[in-house]
Homo-oligomer: A and B are copies of this chain.
Amino acid sequence: MSNAYNRPDQLSPELRRRVLDTARRLGYPGPDPVARSLRTRKAGAVGLLLTENLSYAFRDPAAIGFLEGLALACEDAGTGLLLVPANPEREDVASVHRAGVDGFVVYSVPDDDPHLAAVLERPVPTVVCDQPDLGTVDRVGIDDRGAMYELARHLIGLGHRRIGVVCMRLARDRNDGFVTPDRQHAAHFHVQRNRLSGLAEAFSEAGVDWSQVPVVERFDHNMASGASGAAQVLDRDPQVTALICTSDVLALGAMTEAARRGLRVPHDITVTGFDGIRAGEEAGLTTVRQPVLEKGRAAGKLLLDANERSRPRSVNLATELIIGKTSAGPRGGVEERWFGP
Contact = CB atoms under 8 A, between A and B. Distances in A.
Contact of A80 (B36, B78, B83, B121): B83
A264 interface: no
A119 to B, nearest CB: 12
Interface string A250-290: 00000000000000000000000000000000000000000
Interface stretch (A57-65, A145-153, A241-249, A311-319): A57-65
A6 to B, nearest CB: 9
Contacts of A19: none
A83 B44 CA distance: 11
A82 B45 contact: yes
A127 interface: no
Interface in A170-204: none
Contacts of A35: 38
Nearest to A78: B85
On chain A, which size bracket covers the interface?
35 or more
Contacts of A80: 47, 82-85, 95, 98-99
A40 to B, nearest CB: 10
A217 to B, nearest CB: 25
Q: Which of A29, A37, A58, A72 has the most CB of B within 10 A?
A: A58
A81 B54 contact: yes
Contacts of A59: 68
Contacts of A32: 38
Contacts of A54: 71-72, 74-75, 81
Contacts of A121: 29-30
26 contacts: A29-B121, A29-B122, A30-B122, A33-B99, A34-B37, A34-B38, A36-B98, A38-B38, A44-B99, A45-B82, A53-B75, A54-B71, A54-B72, A54-B75, A55-B68, A55-B75, A58-B67, A64-B64, A74-B85, A75-B85, A80-B98, A80-B99, A81-B82, A81-B85, A82-B82, A83-B83
Given A74-B83, A80-B83, 13 more contacts: A29-B122, A29-B123, A34-B43, A34-B100, A37-B98, A37-B100, A44-B95, A53-B75, A55-B71, A58-B71, A75-B87, A81-B83, A81-B85
Interface of A: 29-38, 43-45, 47, 53-55, 57-59, 64-65, 67-69, 71-72, 74-75, 78-85, 87, 92, 95, 97-100, 121-123
